[in-house]
Amino acid sequence: MPVHRQAVLVIGNSKTVTMLKVELGNKKSKTKDKYVIVNDVEDLDSTYSDIHYPSVFLYNDDVIDILIGHSFREVGEHFTKLHFSYDYDWWDSSVSIEIICNKSLNDNFPALRIDLQLQDWEHWAKPWSMASVAKQLEINVKHLKNNQVIYWQDDEDSMLNGFGIEYFPESELSTIDIELDKVLTLVESLALQTNQDLLASIDTNAVVTFFQFPEEAKTACKQYLIYFAQFLADLGIQADTEIKEELSHTLFKVIPTDKNESLEQIRQALDLYLNAPSDSSLSTQTANQSDISIRQWEANIFHLKSQLALATSIIQAKETTIEMLQLSNYQYKQLLETSKSNKDENKEDVIKGIVTVDKYEGKGFTINIAELLRRLKRTIGK
């Protein structure tokens, strides 16, 4: 997401927004098209129209930043609508942004309309239709139950003419870029959730989880995930894993070889596996273990910790080292669900004899490391 810069004069510790000056220039062409000049900054590629109401398509980032650094009311004195587009790493195509600044239209104002365009129709290669993207997005918007946010579709019979999110700020005195950042953050979350829901819907025989790793730590974290298939094998569960990048996130999929294998058991094994590097007692309990499966897992954890510690110093993260070493902190969405059981009012087994989930004390896992280590076995040469 671009960093929006307000046009300001800084005097001491105070910040004063400059006055907004808008002029029109004539394009050097046979057409009578006009472009805009904002605070003496020209947007030669912009197109101004005053048919029905004044609107402008903007292309110059500096001009865009100056305009959205002002309130809807201030901009509304010059334009009813602003239009511009950006490319974001969380969406496959360009994102078109339309800002309604005054009540010249019948539309509610102020308003921000985000058009999630899908332009590459000819080369669409996803395992679901474009219409499914729009439908799932609509479902996720409804789940928000937020009166300021609605799903919109230009043509009720087809999403191909435009679809996305419309957001209604509470006041025309609000600064546009502040409200724009709010809605873009929300739309990013909705877009990623929609993509994950669609992926999960076609992978009913797999465990799917998503991560957002810092670039400095991505390689080490992905290496640790790759070893999870061997970890499962050492527990007697045969499965394949798949890792790929999807809309700025790392998708990790575990597919059991036997379709009758319990996905719930794999989910809970993965949760244990992700939290193990931050378990301070693990190294003590593995000290006297000689099985190669335990030694290799221990080596992988040590490598992960050393790489994350290095990444922490590189990015000068605010989190403490132990927080950075918790691999699960990087999860954007982990599709792990705790199984329900009425066997015990306070606790329940997740992986029988190894992992017990405490229902009432936060996230609390009670992990029987000794039993886990007894079950981790690998036969050389098998």
Backbone angles phi, psi at 205, to 5 degrees: -105, 25
The H or E element that residue 309 is part of is helix 292-315
Across residues 72-76, what is the average pLDDT? 94
Of 56-60, 145-149, 172-176, 258-262, minimum mean pLDDT range: 258-262
What lies within 8 Å, CB to CB, of 379 at 6+ separation is none
Distance of alpha carbon 119 from alpha carbon 95, whole angstroms = 10
Domain ranges of the chain: 8-201, 206-375
Mean of per-residue pLDDT scores for the chain: 76
Confidence band, pLDDT 50/70/90 cuts, at residue 42: very high
Per-residue pLDDT of 325-365, as tens digits, reads 455 555 533 333 322 333 343 443 433 444 343 332 334 44
pLDDT > 80? residue 185: yes
Q: How many CA atoms lie within 13 A of 87 on its CB side?
A: 5
pLDDT > 50? residue 227: yes
Report the SS3 class of residue 249. strand
Confidence band, pLDDT 50/70/90 cuts, at residue 14: very low
